[in-house]
Amino acid sequence: MSPINTVTFPDFGYGVTQGETAAEAMEMAQDLLMLTIGDYIREGKPVPAPALRRGAKFRPVRLTALRSAKVALYMAFLESGLKKVDFARRIGIPKTHIERLFSLRHHSRLDQIEAAFAALGKRLFVEARDAA
């Protein structure tokens, strides 16, 4: 029997997945993280910031840059106190498109994300770092 690699999400307080290999477990974890964040967004709840955890047993589960930008946009929207209809009006898009901007499954264009940040009086910055 092969060892099972288990991944949990302590910042959310729930969510566990596993895989037969570390790579499989991380792939499953990325899917679960997207689903969990999607639930938070659909429920209008703030997404918890990841805590820095150290040690051999801790490995961060990362989102793509676009998905990270969408989460940051959603959080900026929540902080603004705007209603979705008012936010859509500021950007100049139908209200139904706001859900797409926040959806981690929808591939929004970066210029749309930047325009949405601008409507909130914010700018999106991208930073490249050395791989760990």
Residues 53 and 18 placed together within one structural domain of the fold: yes
Query: What average pLDDT does this structure show over 48-76?
Result: 88
Q: Which of 47, 107, 115, 109 is nearest to 75 (CA)?
A: 47
Residues 46 and 83 placed together within one structural domain of the fold: no
Residues 2 and 45 placed together within one structural domain of the fold: yes
Domain hosting 42: range is 1-62
Domain-embedded: residue 36: yes
Q: pLDDT at residue 1 above 60? A: no
Query: What average pLDDT does this structure show over 42-64?
Result: 85
Q: pLDDT at residue 123 above 80? A: yes
How far are the Cα atoms of 16, 71, 72, 110 from residue 124, in angstroms, in the given order? 31, 12, 9, 10
Stated pTM of the model: 0.88
pLDDT for the residue numbered 132: 67
C-alpha neighbours within 13 Å on the C-beta side of residue 63 = 20
Domain-embedded: residue 58: yes
Query: What average pLDDT does this structure show over 119-123?
Result: 97
Report the percent of the chain where pLDDT is more than 70.
Answer: 97
Q: pLDDT at residue 26 above 60? A: yes
How far are the Cα atoms of 8, 40, 124 from residue 61, in angstroms, in the given order? 10, 17, 22
pLDDT for the residue numbered 3: 66
Domain-embedded: residue 127: no
Query: What average pLDDT does this structure show over 100-129?
Result: 94
Query: What average pLDDT does this structure show over 76-87?
Result: 97
Residues 54 and 94 placed together within one structural domain of the fold: no
Residues 14 and 69 placed together within one structural domain of the fold: no
Report the percent of the chain where pLDDT is more than 90.
Answer: 64
Average confidence score pLDDT of the chain:
91
